[in-house]
Amino acid sequence: MPRDDGITMEITEKALEVVSMLVSGTDETNEKIRREICSNGIAVNDIRSILEKGHMYNKLKVPATKILTELSLDTFTQPTLGLDGVAIFINYLMGILFAAANVSEELKNTAGEALAVLAMDNANCMRIMNFSRETIQLLTDMIPMENARLYQTAIAQLLMQLCANSNPAEREHLKTNLHEVLKVICNVEQAENANQVGSLQHNSGPQQAANTNQAGSSQHNTDQQQAANANQVGSPQHNSGQQQAANANQVGSSQHNSGQQQAANTNQIGFLQHNPVWALFSWSLYCLNSFLGPRHTHAANRNNPSDNLPAVAQLEGAKRKSLAAFLGLTMQICDKPEINPNDFDNALALIPLSMDDFVDKLNHIIEQCKGHAFDSLEGKGPSVEYLIIIKTVTKLCTWMMQRKPDCITVFQNRNTSTKLQGALEDMRDLELGILLTGSTRDMDNYQTLSTIVGVARQMMDANVQV
């Protein structure tokens, strides 16, 4: 272990950060590095022992946590850690997340993201839930806390996983706090600083978030709903076990709360950050877009002239992650039999917002995603989070219209159908990249944005007077 002097600590921190980057990924080099670390039991034990140190070692705990998370997810290195080793690691992470003092926001955020990834495995999910009889309640109560703003997104990501395996009492608590979740969606600015401290590379838009396809209708397109895991393109190495049970998109079904299925349907596009083909596609598409300049087509601004809306600013990275995570959590909460139309109305009233105002907020989110599949703010290629957000917003619209048919008129009056069609056109290239870089197995249960939007628009456009 490093000495406590500042220079040695700084050198050790940088060394651990390099290792954490080297172990993240799915190519052969990353795999060899992970195996090399685990072949030397001393190295693993040294890294693990860092978490047992006091708060003076907090900066070392961040990269150490990322390294151990990657080792816990690798099907080859996981047995080296052992079930007890993974369980102990989870307990450390829970202790960090719930610590009252001497833990930095960055470390809490890293612990929350790590737990969200680990919870994709059903056994790990149960270990997390069994940490305390009130795990879900404690996490839910943290959402509105001012001092939890910087790791608020990680909490939402973790709750998405746990929600699927929750019991009726826990779901009741989630329902009671639905308004706090909707507050973040309706006012993304309040989460502007959330998740600024860097996320696990594993945890791309999905860890962020988002359970994109768990709002399917049991009354419309049943076959599509059962295959509605729009985000099941996760790494075969990290997500092989949980993806087999990932088709949980049956809102009206008495079987849609099977827990294991819904837990595995969240945040499974992690391979996009690791996949070298996707990286090349992303970079090439971005360069082409930069060379040609912004597209000035009839699709550039599809606002109805009567909307008279100002130009909508692009979502920054932290806001995208927060929005994707909380939209996904909203769908997890709503996709439960305990939620009825009156509960949703009550949640809006507590914000307070009218239904018209809430639909306006959803429309604004759609506008923020339109035309911004390329992350021009951060000089990067296509951002998958935009696609996740649009899919989840569309699913939420569908859920609302199914449960509250009277709100269909609100969507019609607000021209939401046209806005969704515009977003669909803007996202075609981005989704094409996902389809081209995903394996055949990954695509088996993939539901395209056009399918999701088609269901929503069919309901919105019904009985519209032309």
Q: Are residues 98 and 228 in the same domain?
A: no
> Structure pTM?
0.72
Q: Is residue 215 part of a domain?
A: no
**Domain boundary pick from 69, 85, 103:** 103
Q: What percent of the chain has pLDDT over 70?
A: 66
| Average pLDDT over every residue of 172-189 | 86
Residue 341 lies in a domain: yes
* Cβ(21)–Cβ(29) below 8 Å: no
What's the gap between Cα 106 and its chain centre?
A: 18
Residue 464 and residue 72: Cα distance in Å, rounded? 53
8 Å CB contact between 401 and 460: yes
- Hey, which residues does 374 pair with through a beta bridge? 382
Q: What is the mean pLDDT of residues 23-45?
A: 83
What does the longest C-alpha to C-alpha distance in the chain come to?
75
> Residue 190 falls within a domain, yes or no?
no
Residue given tokens 């999910």 in the structure block: 125
61-80 burial, b at 16+ Cβ within 10 Å, e below that, comes to: bbbbbbbbbbbbbbeebbeb
**Could you tell me the pLDDT band of residue 154, with boundaries at 50, 70 and 90?**
very high
251-260, 302-311, 396-405: the lowest-pLDDT one: 251-260
Residue where a domain terminates, one of 85, 103, 121: 103
pLDDT digits (tens, 9 = 90+) for 440-460: 556 677 889 999 999 999 999
How far is it, in rounded angstroms, from Cα 130 to Cα 152?
21
| Residue 433 burial (10 A CB sphere; 0-12, 13-18, 19+) | buried
Please indicate, yes or no, if residue 337 is contained in any of the structural domains. yes
Distance of alpha carbon 235 from alpha carbon 84, whole angstroms: 24
Q: Is the peptide bond before 79 cis (omega within 30 degrees of 0)?
A: no
Half-sphere exposure of 3 (CA within 13 A, CB side): 4
pLDDT of residue 355: 95
- Structure confidence by residue, pLDDT tens digits, 249-268: 333 333 334 444 343 344 43
> Encoding tokens for residue 377?
């703010």
Asked if residue 436 belongs to a domain, the reply is yes
Q: Is the pLDDT of residue 434 over 70?
A: yes
Per the prediction, the chain carries an average pLDDT of: 75
Structure tokens at 302: 């599809």
Which pLDDT belongs to residue 382? Answer: 57
Is the pLDDT score of 237 beyond 80?
A: no
Cα–Cα distance, 170 to 332 (Å, whole number): 13
Query: 347-371 pLDDT, tens per residue?
Result: 999 999 999 999 999 999 999 887 6
Q: What is the dihedral of CA 348, 352, 356, 359, to 10 degrees?
A: -60
CB under 8 Å to 310, separation ≥6 — which residues?
Answer: none
How far apart CA 158 and CA 71 sit, in angstroms, is 19
Instruction: Tell me the average pLDDT across 307-321.
Output: 68
Q: Write down the pLDDT at residue 80.
A: 78
Provide the residue range defining the domain that includes 84: 6-103
Q: Which of 105-114, 191-200, 355-364, 422-431 has the lowest mean pLDDT?
A: 191-200
Separation CA 436–CA 374 (nearest Å): 18
- Contact between residue 134 and residue 98 where contact means Cβ atoms under 8 Å apart: no
Structure tokens given for 356: 């018209």
Return contacts of 421-426, CB within 8 angstroms, 24+ apart.
421/302, 421/453, 421/457, 422/299, 422/302, 422/366, 422/370, 423/366, 423/369, 423/370, 423/390, 423/453, 424/390, 424/449, 424/450, 424/453, 425/299, 426/299, 426/369, 426/370, 426/371, 426/372, 426/373
Between 124 and 191, the higher pLDDT residue? 124
Do the domain assignments include residue 204?
no
The reply to whether 194 falls in a domain is no
In the chain, the number of structural domains is 2
* pLDDT (average), residues 3-7: 71
Mean pLDDT lowest for which of 244-253, 277-286, 290-299, 451-460? 244-253
CB 177 within 8 A of CB 190: no
Of the residues 103, 128, 159, the one at which a domain ends:
103
In percent, the amount of the chain with pLDDT more than 90 equals 40
Same-domain check for residues 428 and 287: yes
Q: Is residue 199 part of a domain?
A: no
Average pLDDT value for residue range 299-303: 41
